[in-house]
Amino acid sequence: MVRTPAPPAILRSICLPALLVLLGSLACVDHNPPGTTLFVFDGTSPSSVKVWNDVNKVYDAFNTPGAAVPAPDRTVTSQNVMGTITLGWGGMVEDSTRNRLYLVSQGGTVYSIAKATTQNGDLSAIQDIISFTLGSAGDHFPSGAFGQAALDPGTDTLYVQETSLDGAQTRIWYVAGVSNQFNQFPTPVNTFTATGDQWGSGLAAQGGVVYSLFGAGNSITDNTGQAFTGPRLRMAQNLAFPFNTNVLIGSLTRLPGPTTWGSLAFDSQRSALYVYAQSTSPAAVLVFNQSQLSLNGLNQAPVRTLADASLGNLRIIAHPPDSDWLLGADSAAAPALTGAGTTNLRIWKNPSGGGAAVSGALPVTEIRAVALGGSN
């Protein structure tokens, strides 16, 4: 019998780690495609989440003249736990990692829905839906509203923006380990804000970093001594907003001023931040690179825009973490912190490449939040 000699020790020391790395990489390959489940919060009575299993079918219907918009594949309600609520604008986020959906009412109550990609019908069991409040009623602004929510799946942290109706007070609540939150218990008062800023009007989070749009506030001076006022886009790390760094402000940003409402969406694959703010002229979604918020210059232009003259009443935008889609929904009248939505959904496919959205009416009463995710 012929024996194959063992490789020299130096080859074994090289080949074995390489083989282990190769095997490890093969074992860790994620073969699941990005989720395409479309969640739409419908402010009907009782409140519901309409679910389409494939956003492509809705997009194709909008993009085909005369095509019928498909009915939702599922409708999720909870008359006993949720009933009819006024959702905060953009107050719905999906966690594909843990298959949960979070809804945040304008009054600061959070509803956590488990098995989000398969739920259907009216939920009441504690293993399907729970609710809790951000602090207690006495901890909220006397006259205010909770708005856009954001989820950082890496840290399992939910963030929600709260702003007084006069815009003078604004802050961000956060709930760490939100998937383990108890039913019907108030959370501790965990908040942070940017000192001197007002009209918190947009929120996004990813990778331990929080992004927020403020519509006004104290003037900010850059390292050359030039002062800027008006809306500002901020980046927080370690739950703190530096005052005159990690911020974009000034005329080049194209953020109009003052701004009383807006919305943010973050593309984590491309480190791009999508921004829509009140009265941006001409109407457009502005796109900034995350790296711009780490530079010294405060007054920087967006790297590109998604311009569309029909965006005047756009109220919310949303971007999934694992695919290249952007969703938007309009307000019924002049947008504000409160107010009603419409049935109109906007969909940008591959927004990283630019272009206009397709839009159409969904079979709902009013859209107050949209999300895209799941693990199909």
* Residue 188, pLDDT score: 96
Determine if the peptide bond prior to 34 is cis (ω within 30°): no
Instruction: From 240, 348, 242, select the one nearest 285 (Cα to Cα).
Output: 348
Place of tokens 């929120």: 203
Instruction: From 284, 304, 289, 287, select the one nearest 346 (Cα to Cα).
Output: 284
Q: CA–CA separation, 175 vs 183, rounded Å?
A: 14
* H or E element at residue 22: helix 9-27
Tokens for 264, please give them: 């943010």
Whether residue 194 contacts residue 241, with contact meaning beta carbons closer than 8 Å, is answered with: yes
* Residue 335, pLDDT score: 57
Q: CA–CA separation, 202 vs 90, rounded Å?
A: 9
C-beta neighbour count of 190 within 10 angstroms: 14
Coil, strand or helix at 363: coil
Q: CA–CA separation, 24 vs 217, rounded Å?
A: 51
Tokens for 37, please give them: 């489940």
Pseudo-torsion of CA 195, 198, 203, 204, nearest 10°?
A: -40
Helices (H), 208-364: none
Whether residue 120 contacts residue 105, with contact meaning beta carbons closer than 8 Å, is answered with: no
Tokens for 219, please give them: 């003037």
How far, in Å, are 244, 328, 344, 345, 365 from residue 331 at the CA level? Answer: 33, 10, 9, 11, 12
pLDDT per residue, tens digit, the chain (376 aa), is 434 344 444 333 333 333 333 333 333 333 345 789 999 999 988 999 999 999 999 999 999 999 999 999 999 999 999 999 999 999 999 999 999 999 999 999 999 999 999 999 999 999 999 999 999 989 999 999 999 999 999 999 999 999 999 999 999 999 999 999 999 999 999 999 999 999 999 999 999 999 999 999 999 999 889 999 999 999 999 999 999 999 999 999 999 888 888 999 999 999 999 999 987 888 899 999 999 998 878 999 999 999 998 898 899 999 998 899 999 999 987 656 778 899 999 999 999 999 889 999 999 999 999 999 986 4
Non-local CB neighbours of 35 within 8 Å, separated by 6+ positions = 96, 117, 320, 322, 323, 372, 373, 374, 375, 376
Instruction: From 346, 312, 309, select the one nearest 329 (Cα to Cα).
Output: 346
pTM of the shown model: 0.90
Domains of the chain listed by start with CATH number: 35-373 (2.120.10.30)
* Residue 18, pLDDT score: 37
Place of tokens 């020391």: 13
